[in-house]
Amino acid sequence: RHPPPFEITMAYKEGEWTVGPWDCCSDPSAGCLVCCCAPCAVGQVKEMVTTGNASPSFTGDMTTCALTWLLGGCGFLISMGVRTELRNKYKLPEKPCGDCLFHCCCGCCAITQDLKEARIRVVNAGGPEATEMAR
């Protein structure tokens, strides 16, 4: 096996976000995924939140990905629910505003923040698929 090209090793505190809501460009892979296929990003976050492991598949949790895609303009309802699950699991504050308002006004920023946060916490927890997801 080859070592991963980079590792995400950030310290985090319980109850605090490790990435800011407007920090979309600090991880180009997350930003590009959200811009190109937001439902897949939401599926990946859902899989990491529910299993504690990163998904080896591009879509993550297939049901969440498909529902987000099928609902189109109302897909923010699914991504908002996934964000709420992420916040509840890691006891994160509802910042910069309520989940619904954040997803309605800047869904790409919200999903990118969720994806980056989930990746950091799963990689730092050392889930079996964590290294693969960090690539």
* Section 92-116 average pLDDT: 87
Residues making up the chain, counted from first to last: 135
Q: At 10, is the pLDDT very low, low, confident or very high (cuts 50, 70, 90)?
A: low
What six digits make up the tokens of 19? 């990435």
pTM of the model: 0.79
Distance of CA 41 to the CA centre of its chain: 6
Looking at residue 23, what is its pLDDT? 78
Q: Is the dihedral of CA 31, 33, 36, 37 positive or negative?
A: negative
Q: Both tokens of residue 85? A: 């699950």
Q: Is the pLDDT of residue 107 over 80?
A: yes
For residues 82 and 99, give the distance between their C-alpha atoms in angstroms, rounded to a whole number.
Answer: 10
Q: How far is CA 66 from the centre of its chain?
A: 16
Rounded average pLDDT over 27-36: 85
